[in-house]
Structure 1
Amino acid sequence: MSDLGVGERADVTIELAWSQLKQSQKAPLPDTPVDEPLRDWLGQQVVVGTGSADRGASAGRLLAVDGEQVVIASEPRQGVSAQVWFPRFGYALNLATQLSQ
């Protein structure tokens, strides 16, 4: 991605998403504030869901979290790493181990 998108979520084909991923460079991660309650989760496996909307969930390793966004590292294909950015508002963040208990 050349720009950080704002506003709208769009469903796209897997071909378009894969093409964008391969062509993009990883954006610099936001700083996680020292007083961020979820700071202890950095580096752990998490699941990000859309709350009340049934759009599934994304799993990955938590890279950064601040008041506006959550960033996870995901592996959509074996050996391929992607940063997945979510707005903080409207999404639920859980430790993966909490969901398996």
Structure 2
Amino acid sequence: MIDHFIFIMLLLSGFFYWYHGQKVKELAYKATREHCQAVQVQMLDEYVAGHSLWFKRDKYGKMQLRRTFTFEFASTGEQRYNGKIIMLGEQVESIVMEPYRVDWG
């Protein structure tokens, strides 16, 4: 009986971890898309990929999951560049983009 209870709790924990991870990934995607529009570059593949996962304390001292996602973008349509967005909990910690070429004409 206890074995079944533990198994069910593990399954539920895994489901909630996955579900929350999908929510954070969606938030990261939206923030990345908005950032790319703001700096006038094209987000390629319309996708952010999970890269790393770690624990970090937020500004209030609460332990949060720190997730890093990567994405690709283009500024002139000729070359792909890489970027990453770091999420601390459900908040954007930073967005970093490789230096890219700007077409002024």
TM-score between the two structures when normalised by the length of structure 1? 0.31
Higher RCO (CA < 8 A, seq sep 6+)? 1
Bigger CA radius of gyration = 2
Decide which structure has greater strand share. Answer: 2
By percentage of residues, which structure has more helix? 2
